[in-house]
Amino acid sequence: MDFNEQNKSRRKFLRNLGLAAPAVIAGSGVILEGCSSPEGGSGAKVKVLTADHKLVEVEVAGIAANKESADKSYLTKRGRKGLEGKKFVLVVDLGKCKNARKCMDKCQAVHQLRPDQHHLNVLLMKDSEHTSPYFMPKHCQHCDNPPCVKVCPVDATFKRSDGIVLIDNERCIGCRFCIAACPYTARSFNWYEPIDAEKYKDVPYDIEKNVPQKKGTVTKCTFSADCLREDKLPYCVSACPNGVYYFGNLYENAVTNGTTGETVSLSDLLAENSAYRLMEDLGTAPSVYYLPPKNRALIPDIENDNSKKI
């Protein structure tokens, strides 16, 4: 009856299972075999450079797209929120700058900038007739009261809780209000197609690196937010050969020199060298500190033009 019926169907199920199991195993075997040597190994091989720079030979048929790199949407999402427990500061020791410009080269290469565009520029300064000239690297000051962010009509440029001011090129409409508002001339505009525009056509936009550049949008220094996420020093800081830059976390009261790797107390460094910030009177509260050009190894000679042209 009812019980019998149930029993029968269970038996039927078990019998079917018994038949199905070997079939499944055999089937998966076929599939697995297909994975290990596709098409039975055609023999065509190609040389490939691996991520750790080793040349290996693999079969053409075995190559598949890297699944990790498929979804890059996180690149545009992650940039809006600051890193927790951090507030970044940069200290520039003007006494050590010899206009080597390695920081600029690295920056322009990483951010795919044209030679006339600067996220960071080394300027030759001469304040008055009788004062001595000096070189001054000038980044975005990543102000705590940023005038550029105030004027953005579309929320494209924003400040994060870790102090970094970024710009989202996918929102930017190219009005250039921020360029006009910035008292430090830290931003530049993509008037033309960026270099290698063709090459980076299909590369997804990375908000923390601000690449690939896009014609008709504003571009600016990012404090290398992509490096900071990995606890690495910014590109310019680690590229400097002369120990000009110190970078660190204000909350931790420590900054690390990009050249020597020496870590010192931020408050001591600022106090001992009577540090200053640019245009303090504007109330922009920059995150970049300058140490005066004292005890210099190189004094630029403007008349004889020994130094590179700016």
Question: Are residues 91 and 233 in contact, defined by beta-carbon separation less than 8 angstroms?
Answer: no
Nearer to another protein, 37 or 145 (CB): 145
Find the shortest distance in angstroms from Cβ 88 to another protein. 9
The Cα–Cα gap between 212 and 204 comes to: 8
Find the shortest distance in angstroms from Cβ 219 to another protein. 19
Find the shortest distance in angstroms from Cβ 304 to another protein. 19
In this structure, what DSSP letter does residue 170 have?
T
Nearer to another protein, 217 or 284 (CB): 284
Question: Are residues 207 and 51 in contact, defined by beta-carbon separation less than 8 angstroms?
Answer: no
Residues in a beta bridge with 136: 123
Nearer to another protein, 195 or 285 (CB): 285
* Structure tokens belonging to residue 94: 């003007």
Nearer to another protein, 45 or 98 (CB): 98
Nearer to another protein, 166 or 291 (CB): 166
In this structure, what DSSP letter does residue 16 have?
H
Nearer to another protein, 15 or 80 (CB): 80
Question: Are residues 97 and 135 in contact, defined by beta-carbon separation less than 8 angstroms?
Answer: yes
* Structure tokens belonging to residue 162: 């870790």
Find the shortest distance in angstroms from Cβ 248 to another protein. 6
Handedness of CA 279, 125, 94, 123 (dihedral sign): positive
H-only helix segments in 117-215 = 147-151, 177-181
H-only helix segments in the chain = 2-36, 74-77, 102-110, 147-151, 177-181, 225-229, 235-239, 266-272
Nearer to another protein, 82 or 194 (CB): 82
* Structure tokens belonging to residue 216: 């008709």
Question: Are residues 194 and 116 in contact, defined by beta-carbon separation less than 8 angstroms?
Answer: no
Find the shortest distance in angstroms from Cβ 174 to another protein. 20
Find the shortest distance in angstroms from Cβ 101 to another protein. 14
Which residues of the shown chain bind another protein in the complex (CB under 8 A)? 84-87, 145-147, 149-150, 155, 158-159, 161, 231-233, 241-242, 247-249, 251-256, 261-265
- Give which of 237, 115, 81, 238 is closest to 188, Cα–Cα: 115
Find the shortest distance in angstroms from Cβ 35 to another protein. 44
